[in-house]
Structure 1
Amino acid sequence: MTRLLLLPFLLLVACADAPADPAASDGTTEAASVAASTFGEAVPDGDALTPDALIAEAETYAGKTVVVEGVAREVCQQAGCWLTFSDDEGQLVRINVPRDESESYVYTFPKDAAGRTVRVTGILDVTPESVEDQRHYAEDAGASPEEVAAITEPKNTLVLTALGAELADA
């Protein structure tokens, strides 16, 4: 009889929730929970440009590797293959995820990254963007058909090909 009572007790203990990390009681996982998720190469420590500074001085930084930190405005909702920063006037810089030899994305951003702080290192380029490409990006961002149809002229776009990124955990 004692053995029969012991079996349910053992099952209950085995199925009980245990802390995922034994260090949780000393607060160390609290600090880790505010850490950033890293994608691609490590982002250098130190000063970073703001989106405003990068956009204002784009010609100076074109073709160079830069570090920029800002709040993600939009994220590709199809694959997570790009996100955008904007300056105070709404001008955008798009952060593209690079592709490997097989044309697969090296990594992707979480689709819920909009509104989160992102620190990125990459190479800035000023790229002509066709109406078709602009419409494609607008659709990926979830724009309405009316917003997509309103795009009627090509434009130059600031594109940072991200070598690595750190995304602040939500």
Structure 2
Amino acid sequence: MRILLLAAVLFAGQAFAHDDHAATGHEREPAAPVPVETTAAGAVYGAVLPKDMPAAVGIDVAVKNPADYLGKTIAFSGEITQVCKKKGCWLVLTGADGGYARVAMHDHAFGVPTDSKGPAIVYGTLSEKVFSQAEIDHLREDGATAPAERELNIDALSVVIPQAG
């Protein structure tokens, strides 16, 4: 009977740990940050860029007029100012005027190098995200500074980072 009770407690503990893990967006481990292609614009992480890739919209423009871009899959440009220090599974894309969006790698399927910074183009879908306190705490553990309860979010299919040199 004790063995059965111990097994039930262990199983329940794993289920709760999985639920907490899922609540923070980490249902799966991202792939290693290896480019899927290299273009004239730089190294591409995630999916190969579409042949008809639209011109990038500056993230400041999108922040000032989010209704024009919400729910649309397009390219956004800006500067990488923060990156998940553990897996590269999120980054912050910031514009010259200080507007920003947090970028989550689609389905947590890929990451970017954890030391990424500087200019980037993100191809993905813009939305508004409301974070739970657990998600905010998790972001802080991953190196985020001052995550807000409500932020613009890009579900990234591809991230292009210019190569140095």
In the superposition, the TM-score normalised over structure 2's length comes to 0.65
Query: Is the 1:69–1:120 contact (alpha carbons within 8 Å) kept by the matching residues of 2?
Result: yes
Report the alpha carbon displacement of residue 122 of structure 1 after superposing the two structures with TM.
Answer: 0.5
Residue of structure 2 in register with 1:38 after alignment: 44
Quick check: 1:167 aligned with 2:161? yes
Query: Is the 2:78–2:95 contact (alpha carbons within 8 Å) kept by the matching residues of 1?
Result: no
Report the alpha carbon displacement of residue 98 of structure 1 after superposing the two structures with TM.
Answer: 1.4
Choose which of 97, 109, 120 in structure 1 pairs with 2:105. Answer: 97
Quick check: 1:155 aligned with 2:149? yes
The structure with the larger Rg is 1
| Structure with the larger strand share | 2
Give the Cα separation in 2 of the matches to 1:135 and 1:70: 25
Choose which of 139, 142, 155 in structure 2 pairs with 1:140. Answer: 142
Report the alpha carbon displacement of residue 94 of structure 1 after superposing the two structures with TM.
Answer: 0.7
Residue of structure 1 in register with 2:130 after alignment: 128
Residue of structure 1 in register with 2:13 after alignment: none
Query: Is the 1:34–1:169 contact (alpha carbons within 8 Å) kept by the matching residues of 2?
Result: no
In the superposition, the TM-score normalised over structure 1's length comes to 0.64
CA separation of 1:128/1:118 partners in 2, compared to 1, >3 Å: closer, same or farther? same
One-letter amino acid of the structure 2 residue matched with residue 118 of structure 1: A
CA separation of 1:98/1:60 partners in 2, compared to 1, >3 Å: closer, same or farther? same
Question: Gaps spanning 5+ residues in structure 2: where?
Answer: 1-37
> Deviations 1:40-74 (Å, cap 9, x if unpaired)?
13055452111101111112211111211111010
CA separation of 1:129/1:85 partners in 2, compared to 1, >3 Å: closer, same or farther? same
Question: Gaps spanning 5+ residues in structure 1: where?
Answer: 1-31, 100-104
Query: Share of identical aligned residues, percent?
Result: 24
